[in-house]
Amino acid sequence: MSSVRSRSVWLASLIAIVCVVTAVGGGMAWSARRQAERVARAMTGGDPARAHDIMRRYGCGGCHTIPGLAGADGQVGPPLTGLVHRIYVGGVANNSPDNLIKWIVSPQTFTPRSAMPATGITEAEARDVAAYLYAQ
Protein backbone atom coordinates (compact mmCIF):
# COMPACT_ATOMS: atom_id res chain seq x y z
CA MET A 1 0.00 0.00 0.00
CA SER A 2 2.87 2.33 0.85
CA SER A 3 4.55 1.88 -2.54
CA VAL A 4 1.27 2.55 -4.36
CA ARG A 5 0.79 5.73 -2.32
CA SER A 6 4.36 6.90 -2.95
CA ARG A 7 3.94 6.25 -6.67
CA SER A 8 0.73 8.28 -6.65
CA VAL A 9 2.45 11.14 -4.85
CA TRP A 10 5.39 10.94 -7.28
CA LEU A 11 3.05 10.93 -10.29
CA ALA A 12 1.03 13.85 -8.93
CA SER A 13 4.27 15.78 -8.31
CA LEU A 14 5.48 15.05 -11.83
CA ILE A 15 2.18 16.22 -13.31
CA ALA A 16 2.35 19.40 -11.24
CA ILE A 17 5.92 20.10 -12.43
CA VAL A 18 4.93 19.55 -16.07
CA CYS A 19 1.97 21.90 -15.64
CA VAL A 20 4.15 24.62 -14.10
CA VAL A 21 6.83 24.28 -16.78
CA THR A 22 4.20 24.36 -19.51
CA ALA A 23 2.52 27.41 -17.99
CA VAL A 24 5.82 29.25 -17.59
CA GLY A 25 6.92 28.31 -21.12
CA GLY A 26 3.56 29.37 -22.53
CA GLY A 27 3.78 32.62 -20.62
CA MET A 28 7.27 33.23 -21.97
CA ALA A 29 6.09 32.57 -25.51
CA TRP A 30 3.14 34.92 -25.02
CA SER A 31 5.47 37.57 -23.61
CA ALA A 32 7.89 37.21 -26.53
CA ARG A 33 4.98 37.47 -28.95
CA ARG A 34 3.74 40.67 -27.28
CA GLN A 35 7.25 42.12 -27.40
CA ALA A 36 7.56 41.28 -31.11
CA GLU A 37 4.24 43.04 -31.75
CA ARG A 38 5.36 46.14 -29.82
CA VAL A 39 8.60 46.30 -31.80
CA ALA A 40 6.76 45.78 -35.10
CA ARG A 41 4.31 48.59 -34.25
CA ALA A 42 7.19 50.93 -33.46
CA MET A 43 9.04 49.99 -36.65
CA THR A 44 6.11 50.42 -39.01
CA GLY A 45 3.58 52.69 -37.34
CA GLY A 46 1.02 49.97 -38.09
CA ASP A 47 -1.31 47.79 -36.08
CA PRO A 48 -0.86 44.05 -36.65
CA ALA A 49 -4.34 43.37 -35.25
CA ARG A 50 -5.91 44.92 -38.35
CA ALA A 51 -3.81 42.96 -40.84
CA HIS A 52 -5.92 39.78 -41.14
CA ASP A 53 -8.92 41.63 -42.55
CA ILE A 54 -6.73 43.69 -44.86
CA MET A 55 -4.84 40.67 -46.22
CA ARG A 56 -8.13 38.85 -46.83
CA ARG A 57 -9.65 41.87 -48.58
CA TYR A 58 -6.71 42.19 -50.96
CA GLY A 59 -6.32 38.45 -51.53
CA CYS A 60 -2.72 38.21 -50.29
CA GLY A 61 -3.18 34.56 -49.32
CA GLY A 62 -4.02 33.65 -52.91
CA CYS A 63 -0.36 34.13 -53.80
CA HIS A 64 1.45 33.82 -50.45
CA THR A 65 1.50 31.42 -47.55
CA ILE A 66 0.96 33.67 -44.53
CA PRO A 67 1.42 32.42 -40.98
CA GLY A 68 -1.67 32.68 -38.81
CA LEU A 69 -4.02 33.53 -41.68
CA ALA A 70 -6.45 30.70 -42.39
CA GLY A 71 -6.55 29.71 -46.04
CA ALA A 72 -3.46 31.75 -46.94
CA ASP A 73 -1.60 28.96 -48.67
CA GLY A 74 -0.74 30.46 -52.04
CA GLN A 75 2.26 29.17 -53.95
CA VAL A 76 2.79 31.98 -56.47
CA GLY A 77 4.84 34.33 -54.29
CA PRO A 78 7.22 33.42 -51.49
CA PRO A 79 5.92 32.39 -48.08
CA LEU A 80 5.78 35.39 -45.75
CA THR A 81 7.15 33.56 -42.72
CA GLY A 82 10.16 34.97 -40.91
CA LEU A 83 10.12 38.17 -42.94
CA VAL A 84 11.79 40.13 -40.15
CA HIS A 85 14.90 37.94 -40.58
CA ARG A 86 15.25 38.37 -44.34
CA ILE A 87 17.83 40.62 -45.93
CA TYR A 88 15.75 41.69 -48.94
CA VAL A 89 12.16 42.56 -49.71
CA GLY A 90 11.02 41.20 -53.06
CA GLY A 91 14.59 40.10 -53.72
CA VAL A 92 15.58 43.64 -54.70
CA ALA A 93 15.33 46.11 -51.82
CA ASN A 94 16.99 46.09 -48.41
CA ASN A 95 14.59 44.83 -45.79
CA SER A 96 13.52 47.93 -43.91
CA PRO A 97 10.06 49.00 -42.74
CA ASP A 98 9.93 51.82 -45.30
CA ASN A 99 10.92 49.51 -48.16
CA LEU A 100 8.49 46.80 -47.10
CA ILE A 101 5.62 49.27 -46.92
CA LYS A 102 6.53 50.75 -50.32
CA TRP A 103 6.87 47.23 -51.76
CA ILE A 104 3.40 46.26 -50.53
CA VAL A 105 1.88 49.43 -52.02
CA SER A 106 3.78 49.58 -55.29
CA PRO A 107 6.18 46.73 -56.06
CA GLN A 108 6.76 47.93 -59.64
CA THR A 109 8.51 50.99 -58.20
CA PHE A 110 11.35 48.66 -57.28
CA THR A 111 11.24 46.39 -60.29
CA PRO A 112 8.83 46.88 -63.21
CA ARG A 113 8.87 43.16 -64.00
CA SER A 114 7.69 42.09 -60.54
CA ALA A 115 4.98 39.44 -60.58
CA MET A 116 3.45 41.08 -57.52
CA PRO A 117 0.59 43.31 -58.64
CA ALA A 118 -0.22 46.78 -57.41
CA THR A 119 -3.34 45.87 -55.46
CA GLY A 120 -4.57 49.33 -54.56
CA ILE A 121 -3.71 48.85 -50.90
CA THR A 122 -3.20 52.15 -49.09
CA GLU A 123 -0.03 53.10 -47.26
CA ALA A 124 -1.87 52.96 -43.90
CA GLU A 125 -3.11 49.44 -44.68
CA ALA A 126 0.38 48.42 -45.83
CA ARG A 127 1.76 49.64 -42.48
CA ASP A 128 -0.66 47.31 -40.69
CA VAL A 129 0.32 44.39 -42.91
CA ALA A 130 4.03 45.14 -42.47
CA ALA A 131 3.56 45.29 -38.68
CA TYR A 132 1.89 41.89 -38.76
CA LEU A 133 4.57 40.33 -40.95
CA TYR A 134 7.41 41.72 -38.83
CA ALA A 135 5.71 40.47 -35.64
CA GLN A 136 5.63 36.85 -36.89
Q: Which CATH class is domain 2-135?
A: mainly alpha
The ranges assigned to domains in the chain are 2-135
What's the residue count for the chain? 136
Model-level pTM? Answer: 0.77
Separation CA 42–CA 87 (nearest Å): 19
**Digit-coded pLDDT (tens) for 29-78:** 668 889 999 999 999 999 999 999 999 999 999 999 999 999 999 999 99
Please work out, in degrees rounded to the nearest 5, the angle formed at the alpha carbon of residue 36 by the alpha carbons of 35 and 41. 100
- Rounded CA separation 82/97 (Å): 14
